[in-house]
Structure 1
């Protein structure tokens, strides 16, 4: 190697001519005795320059002039890149042919854990890929920092024709360092054509890490083409233990998290549970919990989608846990509690008593939740207010009495009211001095006979053979605004 020559272009005269693809000048310089193996400050020789530029003629001349062709053709840059790597990456088919003929190491990896085949796949040069494979390039090797195979990279880039070529020889179940398969990558990035090619090639999807997770976690805002179709095709062949399996994550969570109502509808239609499993990974007790929290965060155009998802989960029979009731009582998003009460009603038995204690702890927002709960289940009034009758705010107490027959309260409660009136902490409305009017008593009788839970549903009210005015009256429209 000649270290005596100084080059202003940081590369030798031969390398500069090769970079510019000037074959005749390269030939003349060689004939005049200029060295072909001088490297620049990147470790590039003239052969690297010729290969990168795609000058097949310069490649041929340089290989012919080399003292040891096999060593020269495999010379490395400081990043361990060979001339073949550059030619393959840039899609220079003729240069690749000459380098292979000169004895290039097809599977040599770089410092970045790439190789000529991986580089050609990444850049989408199908003809170079085919040539390298025909010359025994390793198709199932692991490359890149994450250990991807060439098929991983092909589906990631969406190079459909390269995927179609590679699936016949690559391992379809190859996994990277995170256990992710090529099919998972195709689903994750929404490349539906690549996904169909891999799936149709015979991969047993049920043995994979669940690709449907990837499809549902792919944001509809980034790419919506064919995404629903991907989900629909993957659902029937996806391992179902993820639905409610302990330690798993149901794709229902991911559909909710990414706001994909259509995907969620498809999952529920195929039998996935709206309750799923407790998801410690996301920090939610159930998908409904996640939907309500997401609705709290996204007070913008995304709310409509989240509301649709919430309704979908409730309509599918999602179990409303006590924590969800407690969160809804706070009224951060006013529509939460009405939605829950409309579809799930109030809990029963011991859970109703627990809800009463939770509600008492949220008295600061009583003006929000009390009208809703009183309309739904009047007997719950005694649990919600009765145990705090001595402390209830004046307007809250008066509002509470509007929903019951105030003349038939238990004697213990009447005594408390009497003491509060005497010490000035309660000022009753005038009509509380008299027996309730007949219409109110009839309303209470109807609610007792039909059930407050049924009457809380607008759909049920609309089916009753009563005038619209009475529909509103049965739902206490005459007192709804008294607490605001």
Structure 2
């Protein structure tokens, strides 16, 4: 049966009059001997109807009739409950009928009577935002610290959650400010979580603990930072909230992590000024760069890097299974936001380990490698650490890691080899037996176009001869003859200027040669290595 519906054919004449607020009609019916305690299909009596309708006149008529008929039955009917456990006082409080509540309390209504779902008149009034009813019930001794939901919320929790500032101001004078629900959450935590600044301020001024943690160690400052409530963050910090307090059982998470993870840049900016930056480099902690990268928040990444957080951070293999923020960004570089994070980290000097380069080389697209090489340059053989505007020169150790990864990824060389060569890598770095043995025919031809193929070392020439005999390499026709003088000249110009300067700048336009030669000098006449899909098995 649907007890929330009202069926007219089951409502008594007395109840119908009370519902309509017709006090004269009600007086006549009761004077004629009609029963007072008849119930409808919801268990409602006429008193429930009058209380819910807010008709003080009808309530008075019913109470007067009860006294006239049987004084002993007054408390029982006044506190009679519907099938949902609602009393007349509850229904009046729920709807904000303060006059009716006052009448019922005078008639000895139970101020703390509970409904089936653990609510009570005070909780109902709080939930509805009826401050005058709340004030009345509190003054009449209503229990203010009882729990009224399955999660053990009190009236103060609910008032804060709903943002009823006037009611919060009433309750903070009489309630336990540190009462906790079943998750260890205090009313102040609720205010921070839902951005209820007025309620938060009232609780703080009443003496509530601004650092009271939940059961999982999350603090009000952390939850306000996570949810993006700037005004609450400012208020908490201004009143002593600790930004360096660990807020997680799993790893030492701080409020700055939450702000960075969810991209709340205003809050992040505030927290950068008050958070100990040691969290970004100390072993056993976790740099906020990790969580910013994980969520793909390039704005947060940029702010953290600008504030001096190391792009390499600390190795979090043990706690998070991640070596560095860059490793994480590369693993998710299929999304635009994570690629942007890669660019920011590399531009800030993040080191790529061999496994990072491998991740780049096996990518389905050369765009990731191109992005990284926008911020890095290859060393020249004679001066490996010369700086170049806007880009950092790879150290010899970093170059070795990159080349080792490249040699191990010869199967995808058709994607990365043209990018490396057009970005200024010395071709001699790639003249290695393994690459010559494993590279696709077109990939190998592309590489040979950047060198003097007539002067290859004997071991490499032997590999080429063997591959040609086995028909795994088909050389381009001009490889059978000596390189033309024009090719020798451009190799020499590349050597003198340096591959990076020649390939990635306007230096070629400054040379005293005809403009028609510019593309030739930058090797743009050489066909790209073609990607060939694998043969079906």
Q: TM-score range by the shorter chain?
A: 0.7 to 0.9
In structure 2, the gaps of 5 or more residues are 1-6, 313-322, 378-391, 436-455, 511-518, 530-537
- The match for 1:307 is 298
**Does structure 2 retain, via aligned residues, the 8 Å contact 1:63–1:72?**
no
Q: 1:143 aligns with which of 130, 148, 152?
A: 148
Q: 2:172 aligns with which of 134, 150, 167?
A: 167
**Does structure 2 retain, via aligned residues, the 8 Å contact 1:139–1:169?**
yes
Rounded Cα–Cα distance in structure 2 between residues aligned with 1:122 and 1:471: 75
When residues 421 and 323 of structure 1 are mapped into structure 2, their CA distance, relative to the original with a 3 A threshold, is farther
Q: Would you say 1:268 and 2:272 are equivalent positions?
A: yes
1:384-442 Cα shifts (integer Å, max 9, x gaps)? 23534976736744654562444688887964654565544676998775685467545
Q: Would you say 1:131 and 2:142 are equivalent positions?
A: no
Q: 1:242 aligns with which of 241, 246, 253?
A: 246
- The match for 2:258 is 254
Rounded Cα–Cα distance in structure 2 between residues aligned with 1:324 and 1:109: 57
TM-score (norm 2): 0.69
Q: How does 1:334-413 map to 2 (within 5 A)?
A: 334-347=339-352, 352-362=353-363, 364-366=364-366, 368-369=368-369, 372-373=372-373, 375=377, 376-378=392-394, 379=396, 380-385=398-403, 387-388=407-408, 393=413, 396-397=416-417, 399-401=419-421, 403-406=424-427
Rounded Cα–Cα distance in structure 2 between residues aligned with 1:76 and 1:369: 73
When residues 401 and 59 of structure 1 are mapped into structure 2, their CA distance, relative to the original with a 3 A threshold, is closer
Q: 2:330 aligns with which of 304, 316, 328?
A: 328
Rounded Cα–Cα distance in structure 2 between residues aligned with 1:267 and 1:48: 54
When residues 239 and 315 of structure 1 are mapped into structure 2, their CA distance, relative to the original with a 3 A threshold, is closer
1:23-56 Cα shifts (integer Å, max 9, x gaps)? 1222211111111111111000011111111111
Rounded Cα–Cα distance in structure 2 between residues aligned with 1:355 and 1:89: 62
When residues 87 and 212 of structure 1 are mapped into structure 2, their CA distance, relative to the original with a 3 A threshold, is same
Q: Which has the larger radius of gyration?
A: 2
In structure 1, the gaps of 5 or more residues are 1-6, 220-226, 279-284, 296-305, 447-455, 457-467
1:52-109 Cα shifts (integer Å, max 9, x gaps)? 1111122122122222111111011001111000111111122111101111000011
Of stretches 31-40 and 202-211 in structure 1, the one that deviates more from structure 2 is 202-211
**Does structure 2 retain, via aligned residues, the 8 Å contact 1:117–1:129?**
yes
SS across alignment from 2:10: coil
- The match for 1:228 is 230
When residues 383 and 48 of structure 1 are mapped into structure 2, their CA distance, relative to the original with a 3 A threshold, is same
When residues 72 and 480 of structure 1 are mapped into structure 2, their CA distance, relative to the original with a 3 A threshold, is farther
Rounded Cα–Cα distance in structure 2 between residues aligned with 1:25 and 1:109: 32
**Does structure 2 retain, via aligned residues, the 8 Å contact 1:100–1:106?**
yes
Q: 1:215 aligns with which of 224, 229, 233?
A: 224
Rounded Cα–Cα distance in structure 2 between residues aligned with 1:469 and 1:38: 97
Rounded Cα–Cα distance in structure 1 between residues aligned with 2:192 and 2:143: 25
- The match for 2:295 is 294
Shift of 1:479: 6.6
SS across alignment from 2:245: helix
Of stretches 180-189 and 421-430 in structure 1, the one that deviates more from structure 2 is 421-430
SS across alignment from 2:295: helix
When residues 470 and 190 of structure 1 are mapped into structure 2, their CA distance, relative to the original with a 3 A threshold, is farther
SS across alignment from 1:240: coil
1:4-41 Cα shifts (integer Å, max 9, x gaps)? xxx95421111111111111222211111111111111
Of stretches 249-258 and 174-183 in structure 1, the one that deviates more from structure 2 is 249-258
When residues 175 and 479 of structure 1 are mapped into structure 2, their CA distance, relative to the original with a 3 A threshold, is farther
**Does structure 2 retain, via aligned residues, the 8 Å contact 1:172–1:181?**
yes
When residues 164 and 394 of structure 1 are mapped into structure 2, their CA distance, relative to the original with a 3 A threshold, is closer
TM-score (norm 1): 0.76
When residues 8 and 143 of structure 1 are mapped into structure 2, their CA distance, relative to the original with a 3 A threshold, is closer
- The match for 1:59 is 59
**Does structure 2 retain, via aligned residues, the 8 Å contact 1:252–1:272?**
no
Q: CA RMSD, aligned part only? A: 3.9
Shift of 1:263: 1.3
1:439-459 Cα shifts (integer Å, max 9, x gaps)? 75455799xxxxxxxxx9xxx
Of stretches 327-336 and 421-430 in structure 1, the one that deviates more from structure 2 is 421-430
Count of residues in Structure 1 that have an aligned counterpart in Structure 2: 428
